[in-house]
């Protein structure tokens, strides 16, 4: 919690300080972006992100890292655009546009990190914990790798912490790719402020349909859940903790099930076990989320 607070405080001070140095920095309230498609589309970086994700991510959320490695100019172009975004322009965007922007920044940069190191070299000692080709064979990928946005350097973890502060709901985490099979799937489109809620809800539905996320074994009476729920358990418990449903389970499991409830169909919800099942967490699959190519 302290790290999160520090991250958002530093970023806020940085942005405000930079804005204060810009001449005529006052934003006309009538020109501030509203939550509509037209205002989102006039933000240049949005169309760039959208074209990028459409080219290198397929409908199943798999990334063509081999193709991306051959098109490094695409990475350089976007990295330069991110570096050159004016703080004054960023501060004129509404909350949803800022939230969508940082999700896109995170997912672009994790793709960039993998592509620049693809195929990822094996660190033999890490094979005990991670499969061949996993992003985790890189040295501290979420904290050591830094990228420039608006003149400030960030890590992937810093961006995730900041996004979670901007958008105070657990589902935001499942829009962020960890370049792995158990993480939420990449989208082959950019996130946009005007439809952010719809995209986030769709992400949760897609994530829950992943067999790595939720599997119910009615014969053995076992419910298998992704270990990712444990990663964000404090946020999920705070938002979804209740004694009204799933009373047979522990407070943590009740919160997880209530979180999942929001994204199940009526038939899935009707058949979801209310009691009498053991709950186990599946081993996280760190295999790379790559498009498999045939040689």
**pLDDT tens by residue, 263-280:** 999 999 999 999 999 999
Mean pLDDT for 30-34 is 45
Residue 21: predicted pLDDT: 41
Token couple for 151: 């003149």
Alpha-helix runs per DSSP H in the chain? 2-20, 37-41, 44-56, 65-70, 72-84, 87-91, 95-116, 156-166, 196-209, 228-231, 233-240, 251-261, 266-271
On whether both 148 and 222 belong to a single domain, the answer is: no
Asked which of 155, 177, 202 is the last residue of a domain, the reply is 202
CA distance 279 to 266: 22
Residue 283: predicted pLDDT: 94
In a domain, 107, yes or no: yes
Asked which of 202, 226, 250 is the last residue of a domain, the reply is 202
Residue 290: predicted pLDDT: 98
Residue 293: predicted pLDDT: 74
On whether both 161 and 91 belong to a single domain, the answer is: yes
Token couple for 219: 């014969």
In a domain, 295, yes or no: no
In a domain, 173, yes or no: yes
Asked which of 138, 173, 202 is the last residue of a domain, the reply is 202
Residue 24: predicted pLDDT: 35
Residues 6+ apart with CB under 8 A from 126: 134, 136, 137
On whether both 192 and 55 belong to a single domain, the answer is: yes
Residue 243: predicted pLDDT: 85
Cα→Cα distances 43→85, 105, 196, 252, 254, Å: 10, 14, 15, 41, 41
Mean pLDDT for 218-246 is 96
pLDDT, tens digit, 9 for 90 and up, residues 96-123? 999 999 999 999 999 999 999 999 999 9
Rg value, the chain, Cα: 20
- Of all residues in the chain, the percent with pLDDT exceeding 90 is 82
**Secondary-structure percent of the chain, ordered helix, strand, coil, rounded to 5:** 55, 10, 40
In a domain, 14, yes or no: no
Give me the number of domains the chain comprises.
2
On whether both 165 and 103 belong to a single domain, the answer is: yes
In a domain, 180, yes or no: yes
Residue 57: predicted pLDDT: 98
Q: Is the model more confident about 8 or about 85? A: 85
Length of the chain: 295
CA distance 17 to 14: 5
Q: Is the model more confident about 194 or about 1? A: 194
Residue 11: predicted pLDDT: 61
On whether both 239 and 105 belong to a single domain, the answer is: no
CA distance 20 to 262: 42
CA distance 103 to 88: 20
In a domain, 195, yes or no: yes
On whether both 87 and 172 belong to a single domain, the answer is: yes
CA distance 96 to 291: 31
Mean pLDDT for 223-229 is 98
Residue 29: predicted pLDDT: 35
Q: What is the mean pLDDT of the chain?
A: 90
Residue 77 has pLDDT above 80, yes or no: yes
Residue 34 has pLDDT above 90, yes or no: no
On whether both 155 and 56 belong to a single domain, the answer is: yes
* Domain of 218, in residue numbers: 214-282
In a domain, 108, yes or no: yes
* CB-CB contact of 261 with 108 (8 Å): no
The region of weakest confidence among 25-39, 213-227, 250-264 is 25-39
CA distance 96 to 193: 4
Residue 8 has pLDDT above 60, yes or no: no
Residue 35: predicted pLDDT: 66
On whether both 124 and 253 belong to a single domain, the answer is: no
On whether both 83 and 198 belong to a single domain, the answer is: yes
* CB-CB contact of 110 with 179 (8 Å): yes
* CB-CB contact of 88 with 25 (8 Å): yes
pLDDT, tens digit, 9 for 90 and up, residues 152-174? 999 999 999 999 999 999 999 99
Residue 251: predicted pLDDT: 96
On whether both 193 and 221 belong to a single domain, the answer is: no
Residue 143 has pLDDT above 90, yes or no: yes
Q: How confident is the model at residue 294 (pLDDT cuts 50, 70, 90)?
A: low
Residue 20 has pLDDT above 80, yes or no: no
On whether both 178 and 115 belong to a single domain, the answer is: yes
On whether both 48 and 164 belong to a single domain, the answer is: yes
In a domain, 288, yes or no: no
């Amino acid at each position: 919690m302290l790290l999160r607070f520090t991250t958002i405080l530093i970023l806020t001070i940085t942005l405000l300080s930079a804005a204060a140095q810009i001449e005529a920095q006052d934003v006309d309230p009538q020109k501030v972006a509203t939550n509509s498609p037209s205002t989102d589309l006039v933000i240049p970086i949005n169309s760039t992100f959208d074209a990028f994700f459409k080219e290198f991510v397929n409908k199943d959320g798999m990334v063509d890292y081999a193709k991306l490695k051959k098109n490094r100019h695409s990475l350089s172009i976007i990295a330069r655009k991110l570096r050159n975004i004016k703080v004054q322009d960023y501060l004129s965007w509404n909350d949803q546009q800022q939230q969508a922007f940082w999700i896109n920044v995170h997912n672009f940069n994790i793709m960039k990190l993998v592509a620049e190191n693809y195929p990822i070299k094996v660190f033999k000692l890490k094979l005990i914990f991670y499969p061949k080709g996993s992003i985790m064979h890189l040295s501290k990928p979420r904290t050591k790798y830094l990228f420039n946005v608006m003149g400030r350097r960030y890590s992937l973890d810093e961006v995730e912490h900041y996004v979670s502060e901007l958008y105070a709901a657990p589902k935001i985490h499942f829009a962020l790719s960890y370049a792995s099979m158990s993480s939420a799937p990449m989208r082959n489109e950019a996130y946009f402020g005007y439809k952010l809620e719809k995209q986030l809800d769709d992400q949760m539905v897609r994530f829950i349909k992943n067999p790595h996320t939720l599997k119910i074994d009615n014969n053995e009476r076992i419910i298998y859940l992704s270990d990712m729920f444990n990663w964000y358990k404090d946020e999920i418990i705070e938002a979804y903790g209740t004694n009204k449903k799933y009373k047979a389970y522990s407070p943590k499991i009740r919160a997880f099930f209530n979180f999942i409830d929001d994204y199940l169909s009526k038939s899935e919800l009707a058949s979801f076990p209310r009691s009498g099942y053991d709950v186990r967490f599946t081993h996280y699959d760190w295999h790379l989320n790559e498009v498999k190519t045939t040689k």
